[in-house]
Amino acid sequence: MELNEKNPTPDSKYGEARKFDPTFKGPIHNRGCTDVFCCILFILAILGYFAVGILAWSQGDPRKVIYPTDSRGQFCGQAGTPLEKKPLLFYFNILKCASPLTLLEFQCPTTQLCVESCPTKHMTLLKANLNKGEQEYYKQFCKEGVDFSKMSAPEILRDGLCPSMLMSSKPFTRRCLPALSTMKGGVVVIGNETIFDNGEGERVNATDFLDASKKSNVVVEARQVAMRIFEDYTVSWYWILIGLVIAMVVSLIFIVLLRYLAGIMIWVMIVMVILVIGYGIFHCAMEYRNLKGEPGSDVTIRDLGLQTDFSVYLQIRQTWLAFMIILSIVEVVVILLLIFLRKRVLIAIALIKEASRAVGHVMSSLFYPLLTFALLALVIAYWAITAVFLSTSNDQVYKVFNTTECEYSRDTCYPETFNTTNITAQCPDAECLFAFYGGETYYHKYLIMFQFYNVFLFFWCANFVTALGQVTLAGAFASYYWAFKKPDDIPANPICSSLGRALRYHTGSLAFGSLILSLVQVIRVLLEYLDQKLKAAQNRFAKFLLSCLKCCFWCLEKCIKFLNRNAYIMVAIYGKSFCTSARDAFFLLMRNIIRVAVLDKVTDFLLFLGKLLIVGIVGICSFFFFSGRIKAVEQTAPSLNYYWVPILTVVVGSYLIAHGFFSVYAMCVDTLFLCFLEDLERNDGTAERPYFMSQNLLTILKKSNEDQAKTVD
């Protein structure tokens, strides 16, 4: 269907077409406040958010995340405390950490002590008690007040003042864990020993300590990976910054070139994307061929399982085959889309050229994403800090731990009064030890509600910031389109004027639109939470229903984002309420559904290819650099545990940077597109009702202004 079809009749089921208004010259300046109730609600919600933050900051203690805690709930190594010089946590009996109780309450049922350093040799309490030279060394791993000269070893063990034995240990995540190693044949040893005397006349195998060490920290493997990733960041952060700066420069150059060479740049971009993906297919094929016959290269990903060293996956052929298949599918899809949409691409290029002129006349729009980024960073930081303080605002809870049967086992206790209760009389070996953080006050009972409120306000504020950026840019670019003589009729500082109008008159409308989107996003988060909880369930109907709900709400979120975006454009132009603007935008798009499919979506696809090209260029360069494939800079590249860590960071960062620049273009295209549709409905090209669109668009649409009063850019 041609793009110059006649305008729909006034009795269209999607509303009446816009009528000619000689006084309309772009964004209306004489406007009033919209959606006042939502504005008040949003302000009250923000005040409540601040109240939750203040409450969390007064109750929370992030040190609980940073420092390990001894049996009294004291922080090991905290500056300004008696334990400042004792940063490591020592377990009296590490074997008790293999208890299932560890997984339930995240606390080993044994005495834990803050120490300066971990023990470096194996020694029993009996041996130390007989040798005065060893007593001082042993004392640093005992509770305060122990006196070897006045107490025998059985008395010390009865009162739980010292561990029954020490073994060679190493600090890991600020905890003293057995220095385990494996000899040839898979034999587990600690300091070249496989069997130990536990100080109570029993022989213990080193493998038992391996079990206890793993369970003493539920996330030991995850923390190990995290530590390696952190090490990689510490040695490569400046190279990552350089990569992100390069991505910013490439994006800026690309935008500037679009301003003057839009047509050529679009075709170059299309060819380059095809070539970059093609090279990726070629590289994967070469790696797949080179691994043929290599030992272990035929192992499948399923057989390999989950490995913390992700570079292992690059040593098997199946990984490269999967990469090659994925890239081939992407290549075929891109080529087919270009073949079937080749005629539409020409029209989309003309629209991008018009957007390039608009961006060129409103250059400050390129820097507006920096404000959006800063506001989003502020929202994310506030949410993260509040979440940490909320999660660490529980009080210390102490439980009764014992090795024999006792009716008070795991009951709540209080260290100050524990020795005066009858628990010690009935259970002589019972101890009142720190178990976890919790509480029974009203604050602790409703803590989960505060966390939910924190998440909900995070979505609402983040969506509001995004909406503010969209309305601001839409108002500025609408001012450009509806200027009859460009650039003479373009108002001064269109970005600042549009931002001022949005904040002064339309805070309520922005809050309304972002509230609707936030509700859907929170529901999606809850569905993901339920999905994680039901993973182990065998109810297939429940899983199917949950998958359907997730799919439906994903689609609903996409639809709401699309409607909100166009509603914000109408708010910026006409200054009406959110619902009215959303209805007008929807009807306008439905009256021109063919144009929407042809112009808007094809243009979005071309801009996406531009982002893909920038990410591909920077990603390939970072891959060759960090993996040491470039001989000239092989010595310059940092030594890494996982070279994919900086590569992935640069790729994600490059996409966000490119998205920031191209989001301006995308908003410009969407705004010009709606203005273009309005222009076709309002005007007919006569001297009394001339078109406001550029001469280039008039030519493509086979239209013209009778008096040719419109100047050509």
Q: Burial, 435: exposed, middle or buried (Cβ in 10 Å; 0-12, 13-18, 19+)?
A: buried
Given a cut of 80, is residue 278 above it in pLDDT? Answer: yes
Q: Burial, 119: exposed, middle or buried (Cβ in 10 Å; 0-12, 13-18, 19+)?
A: buried
Task: Give the type of residue at 86.
Answer: K
Given a cut of 80, is residue 428 above it in pLDDT? Answer: no
Higher pLDDT residue, 226 or 591? Answer: 591
Give yes or no for a contact between 350 and 700, defined as CB atoms under 8 angstroms apart: yes
Given a cut of 50, is residue 101 above it in pLDDT? Answer: no
What tokens were used for 172?
Answer: 């890991």
Read off the pLDDT band of 202 (50, 70, 90): low
Given a cut of 60, is residue 364 above it in pLDDT? Answer: yes
- What's the average model confidence in pLDDT over 291-298? 77
- What's the average model confidence in pLDDT over 666-687? 81
Higher pLDDT residue, 418 or 268? Answer: 268
Give yes or no for a contact between 408 and 430, defined as CB atoms under 8 angstroms apart: yes
Give yes or no for a contact between 91 and 176, defined as CB atoms under 8 angstroms apart: yes
Read off the pLDDT band of 712 (50, 70, 90): very low
Given a cut of 60, is residue 105 above it in pLDDT? Answer: no
Quote the crossing angle between the two packed helices 342-361 and 447-481, to the nearest 10°: 90
pLDDT attached to residue 255: 76
Q: Which of 46, 95, 87, 44 is nearest to 67 (CA)?
A: 87
pLDDT attached to residue 66: 65
Lowest mean pLDDT of 420-434, 453-467, 503-517, name the range: 420-434
Sign of CA dihedral 513, 516, 522, 527: negative
Highest mean pLDDT among 265-279, 360-374, 503-517, 666-680: 503-517
pLDDT attached to residue 94: 74
Task: Say how far apart CA 371 and CA 597 lie, in whole Å.
Answer: 32
Lowest mean pLDDT of 186-200, 260-274, 497-511, 568-582, name the range: 186-200
Task: Give the type of residue at 430.
Answer: A
Give yes or no for a contact between 469 and 572, defined as CB atoms under 8 angstroms apart: no
pTM: 0.68
* Tokens 């920096």 belong to residue: 370
pLDDT attached to residue 420: 65
Higher pLDDT residue, 429 or 48? Answer: 48
pLDDT tens for residues 536-573? 666 777 778 888 898 999 999 999 998 999 999 999 98
* Mean pLDDT over each residue of the chain, to the nearest integer: 76
Higher pLDDT residue, 3 or 58? Answer: 58
DSSP letter for 116, please. Answer: S
Given a cut of 70, is residue 608 above it in pLDDT? Answer: yes
Given a cut of 80, is residue 309 above it in pLDDT? Answer: no
DSSP bridge pairs for 397: 436
Secondary structure class of 602 (helix, strand, coil) = helix
Task: Give the type of residue at 338.
Answer: L
Beta-strand runs (E) in 489-575: none
pLDDT attached to residue 10: 42
- What's the average model confidence in pLDDT over 261-280? 80
* Tokens 């080993």 belong to residue: 108
Task: Give the type of residue at 229.
Answer: I
pLDDT attached to residue 458: 93
- What's the average model confidence in pLDDT over 259-277? 78
pLDDT attached to residue 102: 43
pLDDT attached to residue 198: 47
pLDDT attached to residue 527: 87
Given a cut of 70, is residue 707 above it in pLDDT? Answer: no
Read off the pLDDT band of 464 (50, 70, 90): very high
Q: Is the peptide bond before 487 cis (omega within 30 degrees of 0)?
A: yes
Residue-wise burial string across 614-639, b where 16 or more C-beta atoms lie within 10 A, e elsewhere = bbbbbbbbbbebbbbeeeeeeeebbe
Given a cut of 70, is residue 200 above it in pLDDT? Answer: no
Secondary structure class of 537 (helix, strand, coil) = coil
Task: Say how far apart CA 607 and CA 612 lie, in whole Å.
Answer: 9
